[in-house]
Structure 1
Amino acid sequence: MSFLHQAVIFLAAAVVSVPIFKRLGLGSVLGYLAAGMVIGPWGVGLISDVEAILHFAELGVVLLLFLIGLELQPSRLWEMRRSVFGLGGAQVLGTGALLAGVGLLLGLRLPTALIAGLGLSLSSTAFALQLLAEKNELTTEHGRASFGILLFQDLAVIPLLALLPFLGESTTPSTEPGWLSVLKVVAVLAGVVLGGRYVLRPVFRIVASVHSQELFTATALLLVVGTALLMGQVGLSMALGAFLAGVLLADSEYRHELEADIEPFKGLLLGLFFIAVGMSVNIGLLASGPVRVVGLVLGLVLLKGLVLYALGKWVFKNHEPALSLAVVISQGGEFAFVLFGLAVGFRVMERELADLLVVVVSLSMAVSPVLFAAYDKLVRPRFRKKVQREFDVAPEEDHPVIVAGFGRVGQVVGRLLRAKHIGFTALDASPEHIDFLKNFGNTKLHYGDASRLDLLRAARADKAKVFVLAIDDVEASMRTAETVKQHFPHLTIFARARNRQHAYRLLNLGITHVMRETYAGSIEMTGDILQELGLTWSETKSALVRFREHDEALIQATYKHHGDQKKLIELAAKARAELEELFKQDEEKKSA
C-alpha cells in the first residue's frame, strides 16, 4: 500500500472518530485509540505494518517533549527538583517493588519480575499530558506533580536499559567494553548541553536573517529530530534528548517562533502515535483469555493508583489533588514496549509474557481517558462539594459591594475598590485559583458558588448595594444573575459579558449595566489609532462618544431579536448605514 493510501486512511479515521469521542466527552485520545483498533490488523485490517507506524509516530512524543522543554526554563527545572526526584523516585521505586513482588508471587524469575515491575511502573507521558492539557490542568497541583513524575520516569529509562545486559544475555553480544558505552553517553550529553548553549542561538540567528519561514521550520525540525536520533544512538531516550534541547532553548528569543513551527507537526504525529497504539493492541490475546487480561489491567491501574494516591496525600495534605494525580498517571507507558522488546532480546523475559504485558499496557492506556472522564464528571463534582475550606464562609462585616468571580475583571474592580477603601466581599468557585491569589495578599477572597442562594445570604447580599457579576463561565454567570435578580432585586448589578450573545441574555433578565469584556479596551485602542492617523484629541473623543452611543442603542434594539439571525443581519446593515450618516453629518457641521 502506498504512502498516500495510508495517509488517507489515517486522516479519515481521525476525522471520523475524534469528533465523536469529543462530543461524548471522552476526549480525543480515546478517539485516536478506537480509530487504531478499527483500522488495525485486529479490526478491519486496512493497515498491517503496525511496528513501522509506531516507530515513525514516536516522533510525536519527541516533539511533545521538545515543546514542554521550551516552556520549562532551567531555573524552573531546578525549582522542580523535589517533585522530579522526590515524588518521581518514590513512585518508580515503590510501584516497581510492589509489581515485582506480585510477579514473584505469580512464579516469575527475579530478573523477569524486576524488569516487568519497573517497566510497568512507567506511565504514558503522551497520554497523561494530553489529558491534562485538554482540561487546562497542567498548572494545577496534580498537573505539576504529574509532570515531575513523568520527567523522572523518562530519566529512569537510562538505568533500566543499562540494567538489562546484567540480568540476561544478548542474542547478539557486543564486544564493546562497558566503560566505552558510558563514555559515549557522557560525551553526547555534554555535546547537547554545550551545543544548545553556545551553538544553537547563532545558528538560528543566521537562519532568521534569511527571512525564510520554510527554512526556519526545517531548521527547527532538524534540531529536534537530530538531537533525538543522537541520543537514541547511544541508548538514551529520544524523548529525553528532545526535552533537553527544548530546555536549553527556553530562554532564547526564538522560543515562541519554535513553538509555532513545531506545534502542527506535534499534533498530527501525536495523534498518529495514539492510533498506532490502538492498532498494536492484540485483540486475539485478549479474546483467548479475557478474564486474565482484564484482571491484569485493573490490577495494574489500581495498584499504581494506590501508590500515587498515597504519595499525593502525603505531599498535598488534600484528598482531591491526590486522587486526581492517581487517576491521571495510573496507566502503563509507551516506553514499556521498547523495554520489554529488549528484555526478550537479552533473554530476561519470554516472548509470550512480553506480548501479554504489551497488551496490558496498551489497554491500560485505553482505559485511562475513560477513567479520567468518569472521574471528572461523576466523582470530582461530588467530592468538591464535600470539601470545606476555612474561607468558604462569608465574613461577618457587611460590605456594600459583592464581587462574584475574581478573575481578570474581578481583580481590577477589587484593586480599585481597595485603593479607595471601599469594602467588598469577593467570591470565587475555584479553590486552586483562591490558593494562588492568596499568595499575593488577597485575604478578602472567599470560596463558594455565587449562584447558591444560601451562600449569597451568608455573604450579606441583603445588606449590599452593588453586585459585580464577573464570572468567566457563561452558564454559571447566567445562573448567578437569575438568583440575584429573583432574591435580591434591590441590588444594582454590573455584569461582565463574554460576548454579544451573553450580553443579550443578561439584558433579557433586565440587567442594564452590561460590559462586554473586550469592548472598552477595543474602543480605547481605536482612539489611539485615530490620533496616530492625525485626528485631534477632541475629534477622537467626539467620534468615540458617537460610536459608543450608537452601539449601545444598537444593543438595546437588537437583543429582543437575538434569536432571529435574518432580522439581526438586517438591523446590522441598517446600523452601519446610520453610523456612516452620523459621521458624515458631523463632518458637514464641522466644515460649515
Structure 2
Amino acid sequence: MSLHALLAEAIVFLVATVLVVPLFERLKASPLVGYLLAGILIGPSGFAIVADAKDIEPLAELGIMVLMFSIGLELTLERLKVMRPRILALGALQILLTSSAIGGIALVAGLEFGGSLVVGGSLALSSTAVVLQLLSERHELATRMGRAAMAVLLLQDLAIGPLLVLVPVLGAHEGTMIGALGLAALKAVAVLFAILVVGRLALRPLFHVVSHTRAAELFMATTLLILIGTGLAAAWAGLSMALGAFAAGLMLAETEHRHSVLEAIQPFRGLLMGLFFMSVGMVIDLRLALDHLGLVTVLTLGLMAFKALLLLPLARLGGFAWPGAARLSLILAQGSEFAFVIFSLAEDHGVLRPGLAQPLLVALAVSMAATPLLAMAGGLLGRKFEPYEAPGIDMLIKAAQDLHDHVVVAGMGRVGRGVAEKFTKRGVAYLAVEGRRDRVVGAKAAGLAVFHADVTDLTVLEAAGIERAQALVVALGEAEGAAHLVATLRYLFPGLRILARARTEALGRLLTKAGADEVVVEKQDAGDRLASAVAVSLDA
C-alpha cells in the first residue's frame, strides 16, 4: 500500500472516531459498538470507503495486543487473593457449563468437534470492555454485583490464553488431538515460563534505570519494546502475539511500575481498540446478515437468553438473592470482543469453514450493543421484586458531601444494624455501607442511612467521606476482611477513631493488633455496646 493510500485510510478512521465517540456517549451506549457500526458502514459490505479490511489488520492486531497487555497488568496476585471462593467458583462454573452446553449444541447441529470446542469456548465469554464501562458509568463497580461481575470477567480473561493456544492445534492436528494438545500445552507453558522468568530478572532493573531518567518518551518506548518484543517472541515459538502480550502484562503486574505503565498506554489503548472493532465491522457481511435475518435474530436472542438463564442459578448459589442474581446474569449475557479474534483465528487455521462465523459475528455485535438494555431490564426486575431501592455509591457521594465529623459504619448485619438504629435514635450523623443488597433494602425500608457498596474498597470509603469522619465502626462478618480494613485505615488515617466488633477473643486481639482503638467481643448486646462506645468517644 502506498503512503498516500495509507494516510487516506487513516483519515477515514480518524473521522469515524471523531463522529462515533461523541454520538454514542450522548446515546449512553458503548463507543465500541459505534466502532463496529462504523466499520460495517465504511467497509466492503457498506459504502466501501475502505475496500479491503486486511489493509488495517496489522494495526488492529496491535490493538488486541495492547488490550491483552492491559488485562495482564490488571491480574495482580492481590486482586486474585481478595476474590472470595464462592465468586471464584461462580466464574469457573460459568465458563465450564456455558462452554460445554454451547459446544454440545454446536456439535449436535453438525459442527465438527474442533469447531464446536472453539464456538463453545468463545461464546461463553462476556465483553470485558463493554461491561466494565457500563458499570463505571452507573457507579456500580464497587457494589457487590459489580465486584462479582469483575471477578467472572477476570476468570474469563484467564481462559483466553488456552483458547489462543488451542485453535492452531485444532487446525493442524486433527488426527492426534490428545497428543497434539498435550504438546502444545507443554510448549506454551515452556515459552510463557521463559518469558516470565527472563522478564522478572530484567524488567525491574530496566524500568528502574528508565524511570530515573524522567524522560516520558523513553518510558513509552521501553513499554512498547516489551509489549511488541514478547509478542514477537511468542509468535516465533508458534504461539499468538496476543498471548505474548498477555505474558508481558503479567510480568509487569507485580512491579512498582504497573500504574505508570497503565497510564503510559492509556492514550492510544482506546484508539487502537477502536481500530480493532472497526476492522471487525469491516469483515461483517451486511448483505449476508440481512439475507439470514431470521437466523441472526434467533442466534442473538438465543445466546443472551441461554447465557443469562445458565448464570442465574449459579449466581443464586453464589449468595445472591434472586433480583441480584437476575441483574448479574443479564449484564453478562452478551458476547465478547475476544470471540471476534478467536473466530478469525479459527477461520485462518481451517477450524471453522469460511463464512460460517458470519451470522455469529453479527449476533455478537448485536448482543454487545444490547448490553445497556439488558442492564436496564435487570434494574427493572430488581425494583419490581424489591420495593425499596438499594442506593449505591453515586448516592453515597451525594449524602457524604456536606458531612463532617460523622461516623461510618462498615457492615449492616445484626450488629451493624443495631449500631445504625441506636445512632438514628440518638441523632448521631452516620453513613452505613453494606455489600449485600438484601440487607441494604431491608435497612433502607426501616429508614436507616445505608448504601450498597463494597466497604473494603478504599474508593467507597473515600466516597463516604472517611477523611472527614470522626469514627469508623467495623461490623463485618469476615475476620480477614475486618482486620485488613482496620490495618489499612489505621495506616492511612492515623487520627481516625476505629471501633470494631469481634466474634471471638482471638479475633479481638487480631483487630487490636491491626490498629482498632476499641474492640467489643460479640454478645447479644454488641450493637448497643458499640454505639455507646462511639457516643462516649464523640463526647470526649
TM-score range, shorter chain: 0.5 to 0.7
Instruction: Please state whether the residue corresponding to 2:140 is helix, strand or coil.
Output: coil
TM-score (norm 2): 0.67
CA contact (8 A) 2:132 2:150 kept: yes
- For the pair 1:413 / 2:406, whether they are aligned, the reply is yes
Q: Which amino acid aligns with 2:37?
A: A
Aligned to 1:191: 194
CA distance in 2, matches of 1:50, 1:205: 41
Q: Which amino acid aligns with 2:329?
A: A
CA distance in 1, matches of 2:148, 2:283: 30
CA contact (8 A) 2:87 2:318 kept: no
CA distance in 2, matches of 1:390, 1:177: 54
- For the pair 1:53 / 2:46, whether they are aligned, the reply is no
CA contact (8 A) 1:17 1:31 kept: yes
Which shows bigger deviation, 94-103 or 136-145? 136-145
1:427-482 Cα distance to aligned partner (Å, 9 max, x none): 87xxxx831499xxx99x9536xxxxxx87x99xxxxxxxxxxxx99xxxxxxxxx
Unaligned 5+ runs, structure 2: 410-418, 450-461, 464-540
Q: What aligned pairs does 1:274-289 form with structure 2 within 5 A after superposition?
A: 274-289=277-292
Aligned to 2:386: 387
Aligned to 2:366: 366
1:296-334 Cα distance to aligned partner (Å, 9 max, x none): 122112111222222222213223443333233322334
CA contact (8 A) 1:300 1:331 kept: yes
CA contact (8 A) 1:88 1:149 kept: yes
1:484-508 Cα distance to aligned partner (Å, 9 max, x none): xxxxxxxxxxxxxxxxxxxxxxxxx
- The offset of 1:291, in angstroms, is 0.7
Aligned to 1:423: 426
CA contact (8 A) 1:404 1:410 kept: no
TM-score (norm 1): 0.62
- The offset of 1:266, in angstroms, is 0.7
CA contact (8 A) 1:29 1:274 kept: yes
RMSD: 4.2
**273, 291, 296: which is aligned to 2:299?**
296
Unaligned 5+ runs, structure 1: 393-402, 449-454, 460-471, 474-592
CA contact (8 A) 1:227 1:245 kept: yes
CA contact (8 A) 2:331 2:375 kept: no
CA contact (8 A) 1:96 1:121 kept: yes
Q: Which of structures 1 and 2 has the bigger CA Rg?
A: 1
CA distance in 2, matches of 1:329, 1:250: 26
Point out which structure has higher relative CO (alpha carbons under 8 A, 6+ apart). Answer: 2
- For the pair 1:32 / 2:31, whether they are aligned, the reply is no
Aligned residue pairs, count: 430
Instruction: Please state whether the residue corresponding to 1:2 is helix, strand or coil.
Output: helix
CA contact (8 A) 1:83 1:149 kept: no
Return closer, same or farther for 1:51/1:134 CA change in 2, 3 Å cut-off.
farther
Aligned to 2:81: 78
Return closer, same or farther for 1:318/1:426 CA change in 2, 3 Å cut-off.
farther
- The offset of 1:87, in angstroms, is 2.8
CA contact (8 A) 1:69 1:247 kept: yes
Return closer, same or farther for 1:167/1:210 CA change in 2, 3 Å cut-off.
closer
Return closer, same or farther for 1:229/1:142 CA change in 2, 3 Å cut-off.
farther
Aligned-pair identity in percent equals 37
Return closer, same or farther for 1:319/1:236 CA change in 2, 3 Å cut-off.
farther
Aligned to 1:143: 146
- For the pair 1:447 / 2:447, whether they are aligned, the reply is no
CA contact (8 A) 1:313 1:322 kept: yes
Return closer, same or farther for 1:189/1:131 CA change in 2, 3 Å cut-off.
same
Return closer, same or farther for 1:365/1:412 CA change in 2, 3 Å cut-off.
farther
- The offset of 1:236, in angstroms, is 4.8
Which shows bigger deviation, 381-390 or 261-270? 381-390
Aligned to 1:98: 101
Aligned to 2:276: 273
CA distance in 2, matches of 1:55, 1:17: 22
CA contact (8 A) 1:54 1:277 kept: no
Aligned to 1:309: 312
Q: What aligned pairs does 1:569-580 form with structure 2 within 5 A after superposition?
A: none
Aligned to 1:205: 208
- The offset of 1:286, in angstroms, is 0.8
Return closer, same or farther for 1:78/1:189 CA change in 2, 3 Å cut-off.
farther
CA contact (8 A) 1:344 1:351 kept: yes
Q: Which amino acid aligns with 2:367?
A: V
CA contact (8 A) 2:334 2:364 kept: yes
